[in-house]
Amino acid sequence: MTFHLQPVRVGLIGAGRMGSFHAENLAYRVPGATLAAVADPQPGAAEKLASKLGVAKAYSDLHALLRDPEIDAIAIAAPARTHAEWVIAAANAGKHVFCEKPMAVTLEEADRAIAAAISAGVVLQVGFNRRFDAGFAAAIAAVKAGENGITQLSRSVTRDPALHDPSRIPQWTIYLETLIHDFDTLLHFNHGAKPVEVYAIADALVRPDFKDKGLLDTSVVTIRFDNGAIAIAEANFQAVYGYDVRGEVFGSKGMLQAGHITSSNCVRYSASGISMETSRMDSDLLREAYVAEMIEFARCIRTGETPRATGEDARNALEIALACIESVTLNLPVKVGAR
């Protein structure tokens, strides 16, 4: 692996909402890195974002970005079902890779992506941003250090603020793109244990009119681990009160809680009652975590460290997600790793 003394030159794939957010962070908020290029196949999209951020290079040909010798690393914020393809292509081009979750949607894809990064000797980091949130990071560190004792019960919640256009949501998104965060969190809330069985139930409760088109917008998942611990993951695509992300781990020595919904710690007391402002976007609630994950990505490239959210972590969470899909399809508990 080549260590970098100069700022890491990052090329971004994907100029949509999340790609634009990552682009601004790389352009302005990530010491040790610089946004050197933007690529998006949509005509004009890369040029528009690059111009806004003062970036000299814009590509509509994504492979041209990968061939650019002045690019050290690629940040992938393309549509989720294409992620593995671009991870593999970027690694084969000798570029370090940051990939938004999910890294892949099949285990075969995940294995190929991991193998490509190992073969090329490049950093592969996946965007499990909760690991970089101060509260979640502290809880995971306490579990790993044994401060909470042996994990017995844990829970992770994701409730998105609004379901705008259900027609654009691919089937099984609730597991592959939403609860994938919760699965990663719960694996780290039970350090060293392996999931052995999953039971998932789901329905379209926010938009029941789209259920026959494959939409599932609400789910509860029970995970049993090989040390006997039980975990619950819960998701819903529309919490009218804001973006709600929380976690809890109960162990033999106590309990840890992480996550919040408020946009500030100001609580208003008035004649109408008690109120507080809530975050309505992931990029608001977890803004510092998004920056921190990119800072770690740049540091790992520069120093040779291993990032805390690896390709193997992405595969482990994906294995649970795929078991959930099978469980919902069969309406039965499913063994993890049995496929």
Please give the pLDDT value at position 287: 86
Q: What is the mean pLDDT of the chain?
A: 95
Contact criterion met (CB below 8 Å) for 108 and 293: no
Contacts of 315 (CB under 8 A, 6+ apart): 103, 104, 107, 110, 111, 114
CA dihedral sign, ordered 318, 174, 308, 306? positive
Please give the pLDDT value at position 284: 73
Please give the pLDDT value at position 265: 84
Structure tokens at 268: 């208003």
> Phi/psi at 185 (nearest 5 deg)?
-60, -45
Kindly report the CA angle at 242 between 240 and 245, in degrees rounded to 5?
120
Determine what percent of the chain is predicted with pLDDT higher than 90.
Answer: 91
Lowest mean pLDDT among 159-163, 228-232, 279-283: 279-283
Query: What does the pLDDT average to over 102-121?
Result: 98
User: For 236-283, what is each residue's pLDDT tens digit?
Assistant: 999 999 999 999 999 999 999 999 888 888 999 989 999 988 888 876
Please give the pLDDT value at position 1: 47
pTM: 0.95
Q: What is the DSSP string of 20-60?
A: HHHHHHHHHT-TTEEEEEEE-SSTTHHHHHHHHHT-SEEES
Read off the DSSP letter of residue 176. I
pLDDT at 4 over 60: no
Determine what percent of the chain is predicted with pLDDT higher than 70.
Answer: 98
Please give the pLDDT value at position 338: 65
> Phi/psi at 5 (nearest 5 deg)?
-95, -25
Distance between CA 99 and CA 97 in Å, rounded? 6
pLDDT at 142 over 70: yes
